[in-house]
Amino acid sequence: MITVREKPVTHWLPITKKEVEMRGWDEIDVILISGDAYVDHPSFGTAVIGRIIESEGFRVAIIPQPNWKDDLRDFKKLGKPKYFFGVTAGCMDSMVNHYTANKRRRSNDSYTPGGEAGFRPDYATTVYSKILKEIYPDVPVLIGGIEASLRRVTHYDYWEDKLLPSILVDSEADMLVYGMGEQPLRDLLRLVKKGVPLNSIKDVNQIAFLEEGLEEVETYNDWETVELASHEVCLEDKIKYASNFKIVEVESNKWQANRIVQKVGNKTLVINPPYKTMDEAEMDKSFDLPYTRMPHPKYAKRGTIPAYEMIKFSINMHRGCFGGCSFCTISAHQGKFIASRSEESIMKEVDALTQHPEFKGYISDLGGPSANMYRMKGKDESICNRCQAPSCIHPVICSNLDTSHKPLTKLYQKVDAHPEIKKAFVGSGVRYDLLVDDFNKNNQDGNHDEYMEQLVTRHVSGRLKVAPEHTSDATLRVMRKPGFKYFRKFKDKYDKIQEKHGLKQPLIPYFISSHPGCEEADMANLAAETKDLGFKLEQVQDFTPTPMTVAEVIYYTGVHPYTLQPIHTAKTKEEKLTQNKYFFWYKPEVKGWIKNRLLKLGHKDLAAKLLSPIKPQNQEIKKVEEVQKKSTTVMSEKPNYNSKKPIETKTQEGVFDKKKPLKKKKGWA
């Protein structure tokens, strides 16, 4: 069996001059600059883009995590490419990667060997792009990835606490590809191969660029154009900014969207409509590229890459999410419509995984952005074609949505039957509301129950992740999540299946504090309700307003972008820490604080609930602790580059964490 050391380095895309020479290239067509280490795996955007470029017959090299603080030799080491530079901050927005919800700098980075921080600048896309423009002013720069994608239009930047224009302005890049890059990139590559300069291309879908001047922009492909309020108007008028967001979100979620334009300074930003959702053949083509599924060998002595360790034995079955949660960027980046891989392609990847030198028979995640949306789509797609809803399941499940879990159950069973697979777990979060009959009436043939049986009995790795996110129905409405009563119903159903099979696999619910619409009393209620259900919460996070989300717009403007009605958000550090503290009602050092705080606020009843001993009939908290102690299988959260969340959400910032000794920072200091 081939180990990573034995595999020839030419199996990876080149990242050094020597590796370029080993391929016999005297020139490189496209050079990619990435804020992440190079992991040649389909969950890592730079690898996907690199492999696509390679598959189109181009010579492509990668410069991962270049030093931006020295004499810039990393940017110069491969010379200038024939066609263009491609720039990405990495799998996450660099600011989300670098800072906690309270703007405290993180001491680690999951996308760097050894988890070391300091190998990527803040606002990485802009920093890299400007450097390239300075060194090679005549070479086009194309930016992409989640940071560029979600900053494509005027957006609120939480870290600078102000509105920023499209990232095209500050980065000085020539073009931006938003969303998943395969389709636009393939079309762009075919054009540049024909000799069309990248920066002259205007008619490809899913790209954005700046045009000089404020005159009407020429139109292509019969696209209709929608004009947003200009960046300067947004700076003056928060309501106009909120209204802009609604237009951008509606267009992002349409089957056939319009082109968007926005004036900024003396230029016009043009955002071409997205491509249609990738079909099965296109998805397979992307996932079937010849990835080594391993980090580049150069990192062998620098320690493991935490994000890779989490996903190295996982399989992503689909893209997109029709949930439309207010705080999430998945649909803004991957789209509302689900793009699924074929069963054949997934099984091929299972086979490939079994050949991995470290594979021991366990798949850590058979999942996607949400675990259970595989192959789901509209029953009559002509209705979807005219639809503008940002979510297919909020406030109610659309009657046109086919939520059959049959294809997914069949796939689980098929993977389960593979002779080399001992267990295939589902580590991605399960969208539980799809499985609650009172909320989703489409369970006539019982396929949801069949799925749950299969999931609970065969694919839970000790604990099952679900994300009710809150218990307050008012906050949940702002979040575009279902009422909490449906979580209770799901739990009942889950517990019954467990009881039937003699299983003890606790549910691990995820919650968010300080989300727009959430008051302090809501957090006290959340603590009391979850305690009552037997949970001692651990997977919790404090809200971070990330670009291009409904919640970010509410945070900045104070109004909901659809209704323009005011919504309160906890904003100060103190307010945020206070809300977060309620999650930890069970810690001895918090009990006194809870008592004083709730009595002061006039919630004697809640104080009594939270400080009373755990009910004898509700010993699940203890069971959870026992299972957690015994559990040897590490749950994985898929760190795909579409996620806005940092990978590790367990450690909460704030007052209760014992300060860990800070590791000596290396980075590009």
Contact residues toward ligand SF4 (CB under 6 A) are 322, 378, 383-384, 387, 389, 392, 398, 400-401
Pairing of strands 225-227, 314-316: unpaired
**Cβ pair 326, 551 in contact under 8 A:** yes
- Residue nearer to ligand SF4 on the CB measure, 357 or 395: 395
Provide CB contacts within 8 A for 108, sequence distance 6+.
115, 116, 117, 306, 663
CB of 377 to ligand SF4, least distance (A): 7
52 or 398: CB nearest ligand SF4: 398
Residue 383: in which H helix or E strand, if any?
Answer: helix 381-385
Tell me the β-bridge partners of 101: none
Burial string for 459-494 (b: 16+ CB within 10 Å, else e) reads bbbbbbbbbbbbbbeebbbbbbbbbbebbebbbebb
Tokens 């900024």 sit at which residue? 264
Q: Which is nearer to ligand SF4, 337 or 556 (CB)?
A: 337
Question: 402 or 626, CB closer to ligand SF4?
Answer: 402
CB of 401 to ligand SF4, least distance (A): 4
* Token duo for residue 336: 């509302």
Nearest distance, CB of residue 414 and ligand SF4, angstroms: 27
Nearer to ligand SF4, 217 or 250 (CB): 250
Closer Cβ to ligand SF4, 253 or 546, answer by number:
253
Is the CB of residue 92 less than 8 Å from the CB of residue 329? no
Shortest spacing between CB 433 and ligand SF4, in angstroms? 14
| Shortest CB 398 distance to ligand SF4, Å | 3
- Shortest distance, CB of residue 382 to ligand SF4, whole angstroms? 9
Residues ≥6 apart with Cβ < 8 Å to 569: 514, 515, 516, 517, 518, 554, 555, 558
Q: Which is nearer to ligand SF4, 140 or 378 (CB)?
A: 378
Q: How far is the CB of 378 from ligand SF4 (least distance, A)?
A: 4
DSSP assignment of 337-350? S-EE--HHHHHHHH
Q: Which of 424, 431, 615, 476 is nearest to 532 (CA)?
A: 615
512-516-519 Cα angle (round to 5): 80
Residue 346 or 392 having the CB closest to ligand SF4: 392
Q: Which residue has the tokens 């490939």?
A: 352
Token pair listed for 534: 């037997």
The CB-of-255 to ligand SF4 minimum distance in angstroms stands at 7
| Residue 375 or 638 having the CB closest to ligand SF4 | 375
Least distance to ligand SF4 from the beta carbon of 336, Å? 7
| Token pair 């700098």 in the structure block, residue | 105
Greatest Cα pair distance, the chain, in angstroms, is 76
